[in-house]
Amino acid sequence: MTGSGNKSAAASSPPPKAVVGRLSLYLRELQHLLRDGHETTSSTQLGRRLGVTDAQVRKDLAYFGQFGYPGIGYRCEELVTQIKAILGTNQEWPVAIVGVGNLGQALLGYHGFRRQGFRVEAAFDISPDRIGKTFEGIVVQHLEEIPITLAEKKIRIGIIAVPGHAAQKVANQLVSSGIAAILNFSPVTLSLPETVPVVGVDLAIELEQLSFAVVNQAPNT
Amino acid sequence: MTGSGNKSAAASSPPPKAVVGRLSLYLRELQHLLRDGHETTSSTQLGRRLGVTDAQVRKDLAYFGQFGYPGIGYRCEELVTQIKAILGTNQEWPVAIVGVGNLGQALLGYHGFRRQGFRVEAAFDISPDRIGKTFEGIVVQHLEEIPITLAEKKIRIGIIAVPGHAAQKVANQLVSSGIAAILNFSPVTLSLPETVPVVGVDLAIELEQLSFAVVNQAPNT
């Protein structure tokens, strides 16, 4: 749209969160297309399975630059590389999990993180029963060690998996230790400095997709 | 768009999954607007924070009928009720969890499900250490009891939280017991009859939002 090369649109207006969310979906779709042997694609094809119009696809991508080729469309492999660079997942991210209860232990073993470039490198808890124990190769440390471990391992993303009543305190500790971003599995809304982005996980959205499908008897598409 | 009243668009072409996903987001946004005292809203306002164009909002909603009023826009409370009816969450859904390891136990205690109308009513496992134990008020049963319990409790949605190697077998058991839909937390792609919708959870998408924010130093919006 802007016709003025990469990054110019990004610089002038930051994309809404949902646009970035759709980038992840475009990335998964492109990876699918690549596995199916497609070398190129179009905004129509890219949007179709996601139920997004071709105009919306083009508008979303235009936030980050210009990617298509006239008469060709998008080159899948190139666009995968470009979207990963935009999302920052062209590098590996060491992450820390705080709270090694059931959820924390489950997240420590979650393969989907590593597949997309996120490597759990530290885990913290406050319970003497858990501190010093090893889960998925990670030795659980006391919360007190958050500052030094985050610095040592250059960890910038923290995952909060503690009960609601402890979440804000843990978030404060992470922030004062220089964490750059937080994924929040606790059921409370965190109060954080504006400079520290936070994403709260809402698993009920996935269930709503299913109740819709059952009510409307929609088969897999 | 169609101008022909509720349900006509829905009947002629089923909405893509991503459209239904956005319905959940519109619902959360409308609930926000209501809490903030807004009685009405527009497709522009509804789409803004989600980074969706007003045209996309209207197109998404048009799959399900006509909701706006000329000169007024959408009435928030009415649209909440209508979207819940579309998603099927104007009723409570009893759900079952299969696999009561760390993830299953975490999901049993996840408050976000109940808040949106999903009530865990049964849990199954194969381990003698877990069968008969109570978690969050639910007594864990043996997998063998899936058929009878699903029927007794009219459970139509199953959540799979078993290791990858066991997931397909569990899915088969759920399907043969008449489950209507499956939420899959295991890392494998399930092979299911076309009539049984399945949603796989991809938590890495949330982390990609954060790596993006860190790389681009975008504050909370």
**Complex confidence, ipTM:** 0.85
Tokens of B199: 């949603």
What's the confidence (pLDDT) of residue A11?
46
Phi first, then psi: give them for residue A151, nearest 5 degrees. Answer: -70, -50
Pinpoint the residues of chain A covered by CATH 1.10.10.10: 8-85
Q: What is the mean pLDDT of residues B93-104?
A: 95
What's the confidence (pLDDT) of residue B75?
96
| CATH classification (class only), A8-85 | mainly alpha
Residues A172-211 as b or e (16 or more Cβ within 10 Å = b)? ebbbebebbbbbbbbbeebebeeebbbbbbbbbbbbbbbb
Pinpoint the residues of chain A covered by CATH 3.40.50.720: 93-204
What's the confidence (pLDDT) of residue B12?
57
Is there a contact between A141 and A84 (Cβ–Cβ < 8 Å)? no
In this prediction the pTM is 0.76
Residue A7 in this model has a pLDDT that exceeds 80: no
For B162-199, give the DSSP string: S-HHHHHHHHHHHHHTT--EEEE-SSS-----TTS-EE
What's the confidence (pLDDT) of residue A6?
43
pLDDT in tens, B164-207: 899 999 999 999 999 999 999 987 778 899 899 988 888 888 89
Q: pLDDT: is B7 or B113 the higher one? A: B113
Q: pLDDT: is B15 or B149 the higher one? A: B149
How high is the mean pLDDT of chain A?
A: 88
Inter-chain residue contact B221 with A156, CB threshold 8 Å: no
Residue A9 in this model has a pLDDT that exceeds 60: no
Pinpoint the residues of chain B covered by CATH 1.10.10.10: 8-87
Q: The domain B93-204 belongs to what CATH superfamily?
A: NAD(P)-binding Rossmann-like Domain (3.40.50.720)
pLDDT in tens, B47-87: 887 778 899 999 999 999 999 998 899 999 999 999 999 99
What's the confidence (pLDDT) of residue B174?
98
What letter represents residue A216's amino acid? N
What's the confidence (pLDDT) of residue B217?
78
Residue B219 near chain A (CB below 8 Å) = yes
Q: pLDDT: is A17 or B103 the higher one? A: B103
Residue A192 near chain B (CB below 8 Å) = yes
Q: How many angstroms away from the CA of B142 is the closest CA of chain A?
A: 20
Across the interface, of A17, A180, A213, the residue whose CB is closest to B197 is A213
Chain B residues with beta carbon closer than 8 angstroms to that of A93: 207, 211
* 109-168 in chain B: CB under 8 A from chain A: 109-113, 115-118, 156-157
What's the confidence (pLDDT) of residue B87?
95
Is there a contact between B12 and B69 (Cβ–Cβ < 8 Å)? no
Residue B13 near chain A (CB below 8 Å) = no
What's the confidence (pLDDT) of residue A188?
79
Residue B218 in this model has a pLDDT that exceeds 60: no
CATH of B8-87, one of 3.10.290.10, 1.10.10.10, 1.10.3720.10, 2.40.50.180: 1.10.10.10
DSSP β-bridge partners for residue B157: B95, B181
pLDDT in tens, A164-217: 899 999 999 999 999 999 999 987 778 899 899 988 888 888 899 899 989 987
Other residues' Cβ atoms within 10 Å of the Cβ of residue A4 = 11
